[in-house]
Each structure stands twice: as C-alpha cells, then as structure tokens.
Amino acid sequence: MGVATGLMIFFILWWVVIFTVLPFGVRTVEEEGGTVEQGHAPSAPVRPMLLKKALITTAITAVLWLGVYIAVEANLIDFQSMADRMR
C-alpha cells in the first residue's frame, strides 16, 4: 500500500469513527437539570469534549488502519486488482 492510499484510508476511517464516537457521553442542558435558553437548541450538549473524542477517534482509527494495512500486505485485499476490474 502506498503512502497516499494509506493516508486516504486513514482519513476515511477517521471520519466514520468520529461520527460513531460523537454521541458518546452527550448530556443536554435538560439532562443536567438546567433550563434551555431561548435561541439554543434543546439537543445541544453541555460539554461536547471534542478534543477527548478526537483523540479517542484517532486511537481507534489507528487500530483499524493497522488491520487494513496488515490485510493489504497479506494480499487479503488487493486494491490494484479492484482498480483493474473497474476499468
């Protein structure tokens, strides 16, 4: 697997994982016992913890990417033959 392919796979996996991780631990103002101010979305999180979630996402993605890398290097997945078949 080339560097560009590896980076693209990591990028795509990262976005899939971040959308999976974002809802974890979200608490709204109402769930925290407060009242929603006018103009604020009732579903908005009190503390979104985006940095923590980005770090968790990066760690999970690294493990998933390593699995993809091993599968490609072991010829379980062959991107070149997939590209040839699409032509």
pTM of the predicted protein model: 0.77
Q: Where are the alpha helices (DSSP H) in 22-78?
A: 50-73
Whether the per-residue pLDDT at 26 is higher than 80: the answer is yes
Average pLDDT over residues 5-30: 93
From the number of C-beta atoms within 10 Å of its C-beta (0-12, 13-18, 19+), residue 31 rates as exposed
The larger pLDDT score, comparing residue 12 to residue 35, is at 12
12: three-class secondary structure by DSSP:
helix
Q: Where are the beta strands (DSSP E) in the chain?
A: none
- In the DSSP assignment, the letter for residue 2 is -
What does the alpha-carbon distance between residue 80 and residue 87 come to, in Å, rounded to a whole number? 11
Domain ranges of the chain: 3-86
Average pLDDT over residues 63-68: 96
Position 8 confidence tier, pLDDT thresholds 50, 70, 90? very high
